[in-house]
DNA sequence: AGTTTGACTGGAG
DNA sequence: CCTCCAGCCAAAC
């Protein structure tokens, strides 16, 4: 039947789309939510192919260190517009802005 | 089929 | 805070 891999992207997109204003999520969290705790890389891969036309707040997705996407300088501005505090080194204040939907 | 790559993670130095 | 490394896993070469 349909392998979870087909749903993977769809699940990821759904989750990212539901990220509340002023919050961020790590790749690991998303991977866990879709049932693949070790596929954080796969999540990033899917993110990389997200078209801008899609109304997806992919700028709210960061890595576990709160580090922003390498090479995407605009992300910092987008996050700041969300009210998210970016540290001098370019990392978000994780503990403050992490979206904790999981218990 | 082996190697490289990547929007990752966590820990060590 | 920084870089480097081992572990991790799927997709691309």
**Over the stretch A11-69, which tens digit does the pLDDT of each residue have?**
999 999 999 999 999 999 999 999 999 999 999 999 998 878 789 999 999 999 999 99
Catalytic residues of A: 58
- A64 in a structural domain: yes
- CATH number of the domain that residue A24 is part of: 1.10.10.10
Name residues 62-81 of chain A with a Cβ under 7 Å from nucleic strand B.
63-65, 67, 69-70, 72
**Over the stretch A9-20, which tens digit does the pLDDT of each residue have?**
999 999 999 999
What residues contact residue A3 under an 8 Å CB cut-off, 6+ apart?
none
Strand B within 7 A of A22 CB? no
Query: What domain range includes position A56?
Result: 4-97
Give the closest residue to A99 by CA, choosing from A29, A3, A7. Answer: A29
Domains contained in chain A, number: 1
* Residue pair A18/A4 in contact by the 8 Å Cβ criterion: no
- A29 in a structural domain: yes
Q: A1 pLDDT exceeds 60? A: no
- Closest nt to residue A40, judged CA to C1': B8
pTM score of the predicted model: 0.91
- A103 in a structural domain: no
Q: Which nucleotides of strand B lie under 7 Å from a protein CB? A: 6-10
- A102 in a structural domain: no
- A26 in a structural domain: yes
């Amino acid at each position: 039947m349909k392998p979870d891999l087909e749903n993977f992207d769809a699940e990821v997109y759904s989750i990212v789309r539901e990220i509340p204003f002023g919050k961020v999520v790590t790749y690991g969290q998303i991977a866990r939510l879709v049932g693949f705790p070790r596929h954080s890389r796969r999540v990033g891969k899917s993110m990389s192919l997200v078209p801008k036309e899609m109304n997806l707040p992919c700028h709210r997705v960061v890595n576990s260190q709160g580090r922003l996407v390498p090479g995407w300088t605009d992300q910092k501005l987008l996050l700041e517009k969300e009210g998210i505090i970016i540290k001098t080194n370019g990392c978000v204040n994780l503990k403050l802005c992490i979206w904790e939907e999981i218990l």
